[in-house]
Structure 1
Amino acid sequence: MSAPNTRTTRIDLASPAREAMVTLLNRQLADTLDLYAQTKQAHWNVVGAHFHQLHELFDELAETLLGQVDLLAERATALGGAAQGTVRMAAATSRLPEFPAGFQDGLTCVQLLTERYAALAASTRAAIEAATQAGDAGTADLFTEVGRALDKALWFLEAHLPK
């Protein structure tokens, strides 16, 4: 790895595997940063009968995502890559649909977030598989941890939706 945003490391993964993992980690980082911002958007703009409960839930979910952002970025740098973690970088590469501007009814917010959390959970499961195939158990384990937290968030969100 000799690009300006990479450095050498003694981690015993082949350079191509590390490069692939850094790319994958940065892709997940962008989506996670975007989901964090969208969750805060819902937190700030939710209205309706369940305002307080959802306002608090969205804040808790956002806090969990912020911890995952740090894990993803630090793993990318540990592998010798540069984390691509600004809001502008995330916005340029996120694969998630944009959250609507303005006030949203509580159940509308829940439905919108559920769709986005499900998309990130699915791409995280694909990332687990890619990391496993690359022989990077550490990154696969990190994605597994993130995936479990996303699944829990989905459970909390979906519990608010009608059957």
Structure 2
Amino acid sequence: MSKHPAIAEHIMFDEKTTAELVALLNQALADTLDLAYQTKQAHWNVKGYNFYSLHLLFDSLHSQLATHVDDFAERAVTIGGQALGTVRVAGAVSQLDEYPLDAKSSRIHVDALVDRFGEYTSRVRQAIRKAEKLGDQDTADLYTSVSRAMDKALWMLSAHQEA
């Protein structure tokens, strides 16, 4: 028998703080799932100049986002909450703009993703501050690592907007 209590019995935060952190993480989960599949939409449908390089870039970004989805969900559960990660839930609560489903050209896809990645990274930065305010440095660190990766993604996308 272990000398240490199981994680399920380990209370990290009071009930109110836990609820706020879980809500914050579930919002990030929904936004990240939505952004991942908006990026996959671009991957599937991009045409035109730089098709191949953008096709590969979009797929790579989708994979990165899928990792972040898992991290947000697992953190919510780790601190005593429930991860709400179905596609239907994500679609209902995501704060991102809807993706232009009629987009075909590489320029339209890049512009749409730049807008959404920019919006997303801004929300991630807000979440860093909120997690810190709630006293959860581990969740703030998670958001910081996502912010760093998405800043790089945004840079790579916006580089394609250069003439």
Q: Same fold (TM over 0.5)?
A: yes
Aligned in 2, Cα 1:26/1:133: closer, same or farther, shift over 3 Å?
same
Query: CA RMSD of the aligned region, Å?
Result: 1.4
Q: Distance in 2 between matches of 1:152 and 1:14?
A: 35
Deviations 1:28-57 (A, max 9, x none): 110000000000000000000211010000
CA contact (8 A) 2:103 2:109 kept: no
Q: Distance in 2 between matches of 1:134 and 1:109?
A: 37
Q: Distance in 2 between matches of 1:68 and 1:76?
A: 12
Matched letter for residue 95 of structure 1: Q
Q: Distance in 1 between matches of 2:103 and 2:155?
A: 24
The 5 Å alignment of 1:84-99 reads: 84-99=84-99
Gaps of 5+ in 1: 1-7
The residue aligned with 1:145 is: 145
1:9 CA displacement: 4.3
Q: Distance in 2 between matches of 1:39 and 1:125?
A: 20
The residue aligned with 2:5 is: none
Q: Distance in 2 between matches of 1:109 and 1:101?
A: 10
Q: Distance in 1 between matches of 2:109 and 2:89?
A: 25
Matched letter for residue 18 of structure 1: T
Deviations 1:65-101 (A, max 9, x none): 0000000000000011110100000000001111111
The 5 Å alignment of 1:4-153 reads: 9-153=9-153
Q: Distance in 2 between matches of 1:140 and 1:11?
A: 18
Matched letter for residue 45 of structure 2: N
Q: Distance in 2 between matches of 1:12 and 1:143?
A: 18
Matched letter for residue 71 of structure 1: D
CA contact (8 A) 1:9 1:80 kept: no
- Find the structure with the greater CA-based Rg: 2
Q: Distance in 2 between matches of 1:102 and 1:118?
A: 21
In percent, how many aligned pairs have the same letter? 47
Runs of 4+ residues deviating >4 angstroms: none
1:115 CA displacement: 0.5
Matched letter for residue 94 of structure 1: S
Task: Report whether the alignment pairs 1:161 with 2:126.
Answer: no
CA contact (8 A) 1:39 1:61 kept: yes
CA contact (8 A) 1:45 1:102 kept: no
CA contact (8 A) 1:61 1:153 kept: yes
Equivalent residue pairs, number: 157
